[in-house]
Homo-oligomer: A and B are copies of this chain.
Amino acid sequence: MIGRLNHVAIAVTDMEAAARVYRDTLGATLSPPLAQPEHGVTVIFVELPNSKIELLEPLGADSPIAAFLARNPGGGIHHVCYEVDDILAARDRLAAAGARILGSGEPRIGAHGKPVLFLHPKDFLGTLVELEQA
């Protein structure tokens, strides 16, 4: 069911410092920072030949990554995102298998303009999993 590894998201407290690590120290190609107030984050995409790293910095008072950064003040890997061909069919299959879908259970439009869902880490080996419509 799951397809490509669309991205790995890393939550950071200081986006300028994070950009320096990936651009200058690791020599990768970065997108400009993109504020996404509807998601409560500012995003930089690190473009790798086969996938992406998403650097996420909190934006606004109710950022969904604020609690994670309170637990991990130095930053850390926040989630992985897998592509699926049919996000509603994937959701229904997962729910039937007993997995918990976060939020309302209805896909939202994610950072790439496509429908996404998040799955409960306790049902996926302690890993927050995002599914994105391919």
Contacts and interface: CB of A to CB of B under 8 A. Distances in A.
Interface stretch (A32-40, A59-67, A104-112, A119-127): A119-127
A25 B125 contact: no
A87 interface: no
Contact of A5 (B18, B53, B94, B97): B53
Interface residues of A, number: 39
Contacts of A8: 5, 8, 77, 80
A3 interface: yes
Interface of A: 1-5, 8, 10, 12, 18, 21, 24-28, 48-51, 53, 55, 72, 74-77, 80, 82, 93-94, 97, 99, 121-127
